[in-house]
């Protein structure tokens, strides 16, 4: 997805203990290539994020002073609880201190700068505040620090810093501390504790209701789905043969347009366990892939990749054979009754596999792609969309990206596009994955 604002998170570098050092120590040098261009580029001061912390001193002098004033305005008792920025996730714009409604990824008192606004009840100090778009992490575009875009994020604030990463999420029972068995960490059992209704403003693509469930990774076809670890992050993939994995081409693109190094594939991953893992030794990416998106139906069938493992993992855990849509299938799609199922490692479920059973393909395009109603979100890139044919699960597409709502479906808050096997049938045949 292309956002209208510069995404800062990939460029953040943790700065040490902002609360504990004087102003002059914060602005250290002008060694960034963008230094002295009259624009602050350090993310810690809500700059563009193009420079690492401490390398754009002159341009960020005013922002550093403003940040000091914001910190000084925090009541002394609250400031003492905020502590320092010693957590590994400090200065990533997302509050991770559980004492201030954060994600819980940091220990209390170690994510001060990211949690400043949350600690005082929120404000509108982000440079993008009051632009009618929520820009906080998790619930918006992610270019504002947690709690600094309160007005724009009001409708979705109940989801701030929440996830479904508990291993018993989606079981219908709230198990966060203070309720039920209390076996989930705070803010990690959202669907069960807050409910499944999702306003359109949440931008997390659940079409008004989160219909996902935590699937059983010991059973087919879910056991063939796996977590793909890359040099620049992670995606979802699926075993389509003894040594072959299908995923999205954009998963293989790293920062700056450079190829991302594919490291490993963990089939049936759940938490720290899995049913088997293997290293990635080679990949075939759509030769005409480009990060530039066309309108739906305008040429997006190139977001696919086929990876080769170093051993026969598919023989061990099972695999899902690809299936190419026929004219009969395309006709059925037009009737509005073509049901499929999807599963992926969503951003909010971490290394737990969530799935949406019996979602619908809305419209198939001639470029080898279709839009669907499966509840996919960040992290689901490359996740399989499957169908039962003659009692066997078959792969028909890998999830790709999302767009604004497309006609004739105005009821959809957004349009989710997947690349189906029509687009890469020849590559599948060459790899021996298609009859």
Give Dmax (Cα) for the chain: 70
Tell me whether residue 171 is exposed, middle or buried, using C-beta atoms within 10 angstroms of its C-beta: 0 to 12, 13 to 18, 19 or more: middle
pLDDT tens for each residue of 184-209: 988 899 999 999 998 877 767 788 88
The predicted structure's pLDDT at residue 92: 86
* Pairing outcome for strands 213-214 and 354-365: antiparallel
Give dist(CA 191, CA 212) in Å, integer.
9
- Tell me, yes or no, if the two domains 222-317 and 327-430 fold the same way: yes
Domain ranges of the chain: 1-114, 222-317, 327-430
Give 327-430's CATH code, choosing from 3.40.50.2300, 2.40.10.10, 2.30.30.90, 4.10.780.10: 2.40.10.10
- Dump the DSSP string for 20-52: GS-HHHHS----STTTTSSS--BGGGTS-S-B-
Give the architecture-level CATH label for domain 222-317.
Beta Barrel (2.40)
The predicted structure's pLDDT at residue 142: 84
State the DSSP code for 193.
H
The predicted structure's pLDDT at residue 19: 27
Contact predicate 334/326, CB 8 Å: no
**Per residue in 9-21, is it b (16+ CB within 10 Å) or e — as a string?**
eebbebbeebbee
Query: Which residues fall within 8 angstroms of residue 420, CB to CB, at 6 or more apart?
Result: 301, 324, 325, 364, 368, 369, 370, 385, 396, 397
Contact predicate 105/38, CB 8 Å: no
pLDDT tens for each residue of 216-258: 999 999 999 999 988 778 899 999 999 999 999 999 886 655 6
The residues of the chain scoring below 50 in pLDDT are 1-27
Cβ atoms within 10 Å of 420's Cβ, excluding its own: 29
């Amino acid at each position: 997805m292309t956002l209208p604002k510069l995404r800062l998170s990939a460029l953040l570098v943790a700065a040490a203990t902002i609360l504990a050092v004087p102003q002059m120590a914060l602005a250290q040098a002008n060694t960034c290539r963008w230094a002295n261009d009259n624009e602050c580029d350090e993310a810690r001061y809500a700059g563009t994020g193009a420079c690492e912390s401490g390398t754009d001193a002159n341009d960020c002098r005013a922002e550093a002073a403003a940040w000091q004033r914001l910190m000084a305005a925090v009541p002394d008792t609250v400031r003492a609880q905020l502590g320092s920025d010693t957590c590994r996730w400090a200065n990533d714009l997302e509050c991770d201190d559980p004492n201030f409604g954060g994600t819980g990824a940091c220990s209390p008192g170690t994510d001060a700068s990211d949690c400043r606004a949350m600690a005082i009840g929120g404000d509108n100090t982000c440079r993008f505040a009051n632009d009618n778009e929520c820009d906080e992490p998790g619930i918006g575009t992610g270019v504002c620090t947690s709690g600094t875009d309160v007005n724009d994020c009001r409708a979705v604030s109940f989801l701030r810093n929440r996830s479904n990463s508990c291993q018993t999420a989606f079981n219908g029972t709230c198990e966060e501390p203070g309720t039920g068995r209390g076996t989930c960490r705070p803010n990690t059992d959202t669907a069960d504790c807050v409910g499944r209704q999702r306003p359109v403003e949440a931008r997390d693509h659940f079409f008004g209701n989160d219909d996902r469930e935590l699937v059983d990774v010991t059973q087919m076809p879910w056991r063939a789905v796996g977590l793909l670890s890359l040099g620049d992050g992670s995606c979802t993939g699926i075993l389509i043969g003894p040594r072959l994995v299908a995923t999205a081409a954009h998963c293989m693109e790293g920062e700056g347009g450079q190829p991302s190094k594919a490291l490993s594939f963990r089939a049936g991953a759940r938490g720290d366990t899995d049913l088997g893992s293997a290293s990635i030794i080679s990949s075939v990416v759509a030769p005409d892939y480009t990060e530039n998106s066309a309108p739906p139906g305008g040429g997006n069938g190139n977001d696919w990749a086929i990876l080769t493992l170093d051993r026969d993992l598919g023989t061990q855990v099972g695999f899902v054979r690809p299936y190419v849509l026929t004219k009969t299938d395309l006709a059925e799609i037009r009737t509005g009754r073509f049901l499929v199922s999807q599963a992926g490692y969503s951003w909010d479920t971490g290394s737990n596999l969530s799935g949406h059973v019996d979602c619908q393909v809305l419209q198939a395009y001639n470029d080898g792609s279709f839009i669907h109603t499966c509840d996919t979100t960040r992290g689901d890139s490359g996740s399989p969309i499957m169908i039962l044919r003659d009692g066997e699960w078959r792969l028909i597409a890998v999830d790709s990206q999302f767009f604004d709502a497309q006609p004739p479906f105005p009821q959809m808050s957004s349009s989710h596009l997947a690349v189906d096997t029509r687009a890469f049938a020849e590559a599948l045949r060459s790899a021996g994955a298609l009859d």
